[in-house]
Amino acid sequence: MFSSKAMHKELLVHIRPLVEHALTEHLVDLVDMTIKSDGRGYNIEILADKPEGGITIDVCAELNRVIGDQLEQDVLLDRAFTVNVSSPGVDRPLRIAKDFRRVIGRAVRVHLNDKIEDKIEHMGTVKTVTDDMVTLEAKAGLIDIPFIKINKAIQVI
């Protein structure tokens, strides 16, 4: 059991496999997960999506119930909690190759940790994605961006 002083990151590490298992059983991918606390309890925010076609409200509601029940059974939390599974929406963060593959052919904005071609931010259309790099077609031409250099990336609407 975690004390109220435990780091949220440590708690995430412990409950992430449970969440991923529940999502996998429903053919849903984990996009992001955060835990916040207000002194009275934990708020577990889960962004999830289907590989194709998007996630429905009914699936989110079912996952809320399944994950909440599992957390209660495993007694991992030392105080009350809520689980909120929701769709990341069109402005979902792009973090890994799988995220970028979903938006091939669409415009994205990428903020970098280090400059590439003298710029810290690039905007363009996702052309190709490998396991460690995304290639954008920008006004200036093709730009290869290693994932390790990406600080934040989102689809442009």
Domain count, the chain: 2
DSSP-derived secondary structure letter, 79? S
* Token pair belonging to 55: 């996630």
Task: Specify the pLDDT at position 93.
Answer: 80
Question: Where do the H-state alpha helices sit in 1-132?
Answer: 8-25, 57-74, 97-102
Closest listed residue to residue 52, CA positions, set 114, 116, 102, 96? 102
Task: Specify the pLDDT at position 7.
Answer: 52
Q: Using one digit for the tens of pLDDT, what is the confidence trace for 45-54?
A: 999 988 776 7
Same domain for 69 and 14: yes
Task: Specify the pLDDT at position 31.
Answer: 85
Same domain for 71 and 125: no
Asked whether residue 127 is domain-assigned, the answer is yes
CA distances from 67 to 36, 46, 56, 64, 89 (A): 17, 10, 16, 6, 21
Distance (Å, rounded) from C-alpha 44 to C-alpha 82?
A: 6
Distance (Å, rounded) from C-alpha 84 to C-alpha 94?
A: 20
Task: Specify the pLDDT at position 53.
Answer: 66
Task: Specify the pLDDT at position 6.
Answer: 47
Closest listed residue to residue 87, CA positions, set 27, 37, 29? 29
Same domain for 42 and 16: yes
Low pLDDT (below 50) residues in the chain: 1-6
Q: Which domain holds residue 50?
A: 8-86
Same domain for 64 and 14: yes
